[in-house]
Chains A and B, each alone.
Chain A
C-alpha cells in the first residue's frame, strides 16, 4: 500500500458528461501528479501540483482540469467526455516540488465512457 488513495475505483459514464476524480496524497507529501494510462498510449503525465500551485503540465487536454486544495488533496475534472477518454487515471505523490523521480502511485480510477 503506497499511502495514496483515489476515489472512486470505477466510474462508468456517458459521452458528453463531466466527472471528478479525487486523490489524497501520502501524509507529508506536497506534490500530486496525475497520469492517464490507456492501452494505446501507455502511461502519460497530465499535470503536477505542488502545495496548491500548478507546477508542471504534460499532455493534458483543455477539457481536463485539476486543482489541489489547502488540505493537499487533489481533484481531476474531466468534461465533455469522449469514448477515447476511457482509461485508468492514476494519481501519484512525492515530497519534492520538482518532478521527483520517486513518486508513489495510488491504485487508480478506471473510467469507462459509453
Chain B
C-alpha cells in the first residue's frame, strides 16, 4: 500500500460544476497537507496548504483535512475550463520530505 493514495481519474465535469478531489494516506505523522496544480507540460504549482486538521478557503478553492480519517479533499466551486489540469496532493510529517499522490487529471468542459 502506498503512503498516499489518489485516484488518477480522469475526471470530466461540465463548466460550473463543483469538483471534489480526494486523497487518503496511511502515515498518521503527516501534519502538513498541500495541493498542487500541474498543467500539461508544466511544473506543479502550489495551490493551497494546510496544517493539521480543518478547512481553508481561497477564492473558489477549499481544502479540507480530516486527520481522524486520514483523508484530505480539495473542492473547486464554479469550475472553469482553465481549471483543467492534474491536481496533486502532497503531505509532510515534519516539513521535510514531501510525499505526493499520483495526481488526478481533471477536465472541465465548456
Shortest CB distance B40–A (Å): 11
Name the residue in A56, A101, A106, A107 with the highest tally of chain B Cβ atoms < 10 Å from its Cβ: A101
B92 touches A92 (CB 8 A): no
A98→B32 CA distance, assembly (Å): 14
Mostly, the A contact residues are loop
Total interface residues on B, CB under 8 Å, equals 21
Is A90 within 8 A of B44, CB to CB? yes
Contact of B88 among A43, A100, A108 (CB under 8 A): A43
- For this complex, 28 residue pairs linking A to B, each with C-beta atoms less than 8 Å apart, are A42-B100, A42-B101, A42-B102, A42-B103, A43-B44, A44-B100, A45-B98, A45-B99, A56-B96, A90-B43, A90-B44, A92-B43, A98-B96, A99-B92, A99-B96, A99-B98, A101-B32, A101-B46, A101-B49, A101-B95, A101-B98, A104-B45, A105-B44, A106-B43, A107-B42, A107-B43, A108-B42, A108-B43
Task: Give B contacts to A, CB under 8 Å.
Answer: 32, 34, 41-46, 49, 88, 90, 92, 95-103
